[in-house]
Amino acid sequence: MPRLDQVLCNVLSNAVKFSLPGGMVDVSLQQEEGMALVSVSDSGCGIPPGAEEQVFAPFSQLDSSDTKTAYGSGLGLHITRQILDRHGGSIRYVSAPGVGTTFTISLPLVA
């Protein structure tokens, strides 16, 4: 279970890191067709269309400028995807620049 803790920590950390001061981070859990779905939504800067490969790539950050406001290694979401793959799960996101992002983690439920 510690690896699944890391998944949640990585996604929550990013949601907080990329939200503006006073922004919101919302977490929800639901069950659907034998899967647990954890959604983490933020009111941050959003992710531009077509950036999925870069979002989950190792050592990758969308903003590599000298004026960026959020820093990190660029490994969090890459590691998150690897952990979920090994547990039979997945991660996806829906986003709009300037509006925010919702990451959804899917994990199979054990009977």
Average pLDDT, the chain: 87
Q: Which contiguous run of DSSP H or E holds residue 16?
A: helix 2-17
What domains are defined for the chain? Answer: 2-108 (3.30.565.10)
Strand order across the beta sheet in which 25-32 lies: 25-32, 35-42, 100-108, 90-96
pLDDT, tens digit (0-9, with 9 covering 90-100), for 73-98: 568 999 999 999 999 999 999 999 88
pLDDT, tens digit (0-9, with 9 covering 90-100), for 2-40: 788 999 999 999 999 988 889 999 999 999 999 999 999
pTM, to two decimals: 0.85
